[in-house]
Amino acid sequence: MSRIDELLADLCPRGIEIAILGDVCRVRTGAAVSRATIGQGPGPYPVINSGREPLGYINSYNTEDDPIGITSRGAGVGSVTWRAGRYFRGNLNYSATILDRSRIDTRFLYHSLLFLQPRIQQLCTYQGIPALNKVNLEKLTVPVPPLEVQREIVRVLDTFAALEAELEAELEARRRQYAQYREALLTFSLGDRVAWVTISEVCIKISSGGTPSTTRSDFYGGGIPWLRTQEVDFGVIDSTGMTITEAGLRGSAAKWIPENCVIVAMYGATAAKVAINGIPMTTNQACCNLQVDPERANFRFVFHWMSNEYLRLKGLGEGSQSNLNAQKIKDYPIVVPPLEEQNRIVEILDKFDALVNDLSIGLPAELAARRKQYEHYRDRLLTFPEAS
């Protein structure tokens, strides 16, 4: 830290330059890619669109040595990503290509945009499909300290990022092992005492929610948890990133759901992902909320089943984001063994799930600590006084 402080004092004692993103970068939208094209794969080049993970792999690319991406539409709108090498940038992803690399280091801009991600997301609109307008993004202001300062900041932050990446790789290996074991436990033979039914047959109620008007400030910031699909990620949700008021609840299609529903994301970057709400809450319209009948199924068995079916369910989606609808989820098949067998399977899978997803123990806890450490130093290093 002292090295960076010394550089700042020596090279810019009166503060640093603040630039407009559109003046230092060329912001462009990627190209449309169809599901048919992705389905022709696999190819060597990932398709990066509205999420952090590739939509698939194809045989052509339209991006090389242009690693910074910003999601322009969908549940992950405003998210900043890094993808090195060659890949295909979809039309729901903006590039941020530096115009003069002798002025701005690419990794420095990436770390800066991660730091500014909350501000980017404030530029987005959330009425209907969340969207980020290119003109608004180009008005974002970014810090431009001397290049020597940028490179020293990058050196420090990349050290933390590398440690985080190592833990992520190890955790991913554990998750693959867990997925293989889950697949084995949820595979049944003809002689097993099971019934093939649809999701609707094991539910008391299936519903979606709604989004209060974003033009009404009195609709937001209340005491009612309101879930968006970007928060649906194969876990238990005990709090939400946004809340609404009683007025927002009455003035929209949002509605309460009881705790322990299985929530399926219907569209956006998280389409077909599932979660469980650990508390009563409301959701937006992109969530399909399954209130499971306890006399037919253990809700956690349904959760594990739908988690295991993620890729197959996502394959039923339509459009570039693999969008689903409530009817497809209602009609989706599920194998229902006797409740005692469901409970036995749940007990085993819950233990594995905790090992790879519980933030209070093991690798997940260590990874969470590393991420907080990176964010602490990133926020500290990228907070500058403006030039006087």
- pLDDT tens digits, one per residue of 12-55: 888 899 999 999 999 999 999 887 788 776 889 999 998 778 88
Tokens 């008005």 sit on residue: 139
Q: Has residue 168 been placed in a domain?
A: no
**pLDDT reading at 102 higher than 60:** yes
* Burial label, 268 (beta-carbon count in 10 A; 0-12, 13-18, 19+): buried
**CATH code, domain with 117:** 3.90.220.20
Q: Is the pLDDT of residue 82 over 90?
A: yes
Mean pLDDT of the region 89-108? 96
Percent of the chain with pLDDT over 70: 98
pLDDT band at 359 (very low <50, low <70, confident <90, very high): low
Q: Which residue in this structure is represented by tokens 């609109």?
A: 125
Residues 107 and 219 in one domain: no
The verdict on residue 383 lying in a domain is no
**pTM of this structure:** 0.64
Are residue 127 and residue 220 in the same domain, yes or no?
Answer: no
Tell whether 239 and 125 lie within a shared domain: no
Residue 206 sits in the same domain as residue 80: no
Query: What's the rounded mean pLDDT across residues 249-263?
Result: 97
Q: Last residue of some domain: 102, 126, 144? A: 144
Secondary structure (3-state) at 84: coil
Please tell me the predicted confidence (pLDDT) of residue 386. Answer: 64
Assess whether 227 and 330 both reside in one domain: yes
* Co-location of 106 and 208 in the same domain: no
- The total domain count for the chain is 2
pLDDT of residue 371 exceeding 80, the answer is yes
Q: Is residue 160 part of a domain?
A: no
pLDDT tens column, 205-240: 999 999 999 999 999 999 999 999 999 999 999 999
Q: How far is 388 from 382, CA to CA, in rounded Å?
A: 18
With CA atoms as reference, report the closest residue to 269 among 39, 47, 38.
Answer: 47
pLDDT at 220: 96
Q: Are residues 114 and 23 in the same domain?
A: yes
Q: What angle do CA 135, 140, 142 make, to 5 degrees?
A: 145
- pLDDT over 70 (residue 56): yes
CA atoms within 13 A on the CB side of 255: 10
**Average pLDDT in the 178-185 region?**
92
Q: Which residue has the higher pLDDT, 282 or 49?
A: 282
Residue among 317, 319, 337 at smallest CA distance from 328: 317
Q: Domain boundary residue among 310, 336, 362?
A: 336
Confidence of residue 388 (pLDDT cuts 50, 70, 90): low
How much is the pLDDT for 15?
Answer: 86
Q: Which amino acid is at 232?
A: V
Q: What is the mean pLDDT of residues 61-85?
A: 94
* pLDDT number for residue 281: 98
Which of 317, 336, 355 corresponds to the end of one domain?
Answer: 336
Query: What mean pLDDT, rounded, does the chain reach?
Result: 92
SS3 306: helix
Q: Is the same domain home to 122 and 207?
A: no
Domain presence at residue 321: yes
| Contact yes or no for 71/51 (Cβ under 8 A) | yes
Share of the chain above pLDDT 90, in %: 74
Same domain, residue pair 124 and 238: no
Examine residue 360 and state whether it is found in any structural domain, yes or no: no
What is the pLDDT at residue 264? 98
Mean local confidence (pLDDT), 327-339: 97
Q: Is residue 169 part of a domain?
A: no
Residues in a beta bridge with 55: none
In a domain, 10, yes or no: no
Identify whether 344 is part of a domain.
Answer: no
Q: Which range marks the domain in which residue 90 is found?
A: 17-144
CA distance 295 to 37: 44
The least confident of 243-257, 269-283, 294-308, 345-359 is: 345-359
Retrieve residue 362's tokens: 């093991």
Whether residue 332 sits in one domain with residue 200: yes
Q: Is the pLDDT of residue 325 over 70?
A: yes
Alpha helix stretches (DSSP H) within 128-223: 134-138, 147-185
Asked if pLDDT for residue 4 goes beyond 90, the answer is: no
Same domain, 209 and 279: yes
* Helix, strand, coil percentages for the chain (3-state, nearest 5): 40, 25, 35
Q: Are 367 and 171 in contact (CB under 8 A)?
A: yes
